Amino acid sequence: NRFSPTLNITPFISVHIQYNKIGACGSCWTFSTTGCLESVTAISTGKLVPLSEQQLVDCAQDFNNHGCNGYYDEMGMVDAVATRNPVSFAFEVTSDFMHYHQGVYTSTKCHNTTDKVNHAVLAVGYGQDNGTPYWIVKNSWGPYWGIDGYFLIEMGKNMCGLAACSSFPVV
């Protein structure tokens, strides 16, 4: 493997994100998307350019393709994160995820298909815990959820469809 076995790019990415209550709006994808673009721009230019999640919500049309006209496998995601490029991904949130607060999340309740994804987040690193590889992920639910607003999810199994609905910009 040409990359470090663990990595967290949080110190290199945009940290201005304000946590907003999005309720049942379904706009989590805007936080994931703008966070990814803000971070890549800040890393490449050294300047933080805040983007508007609300503008994406206001301008989005009903595209009904879940952002999945093709996908990156998880090694493609590792390649991106290892080069300090956060990855936006969507996955299926099930009831067991709602109460996450620590450890590596793995689920037998979720599916690994694109038709069940219902939440978007931002992968900012990866690591291993007792031999289990995981992604370090920033969520949009605020700093009091999970591990200060982040969570760890098992890597390498397309857990809950995360690799099937991933994307990242190339700057």
Looking at the annotation, which residues are catalytic?
A: 28, 119, 139
Following DSSP, what letter does each residue of 58-73 receive, concatenated? Answer: HH-----STT-SS---
- Full domain range(s) for residue 43: 23-167
Separation CA 52–CA 35 (nearest Å): 10
pLDDT tens per residue, range 57-111: 655 554 443 333 334 478 888 888 888 888 999 999 999 999 999 999 999 999 9
Residue 7, in any domain of the structure: no
Mean pLDDT for the chain? 80
Please give the model's pTM, rounded to 2 decimal places.
Answer: 0.66
Supply the CATH number for residue 156's domain: 3.90.70.10
Q: Count of domains in the chain?
A: 1
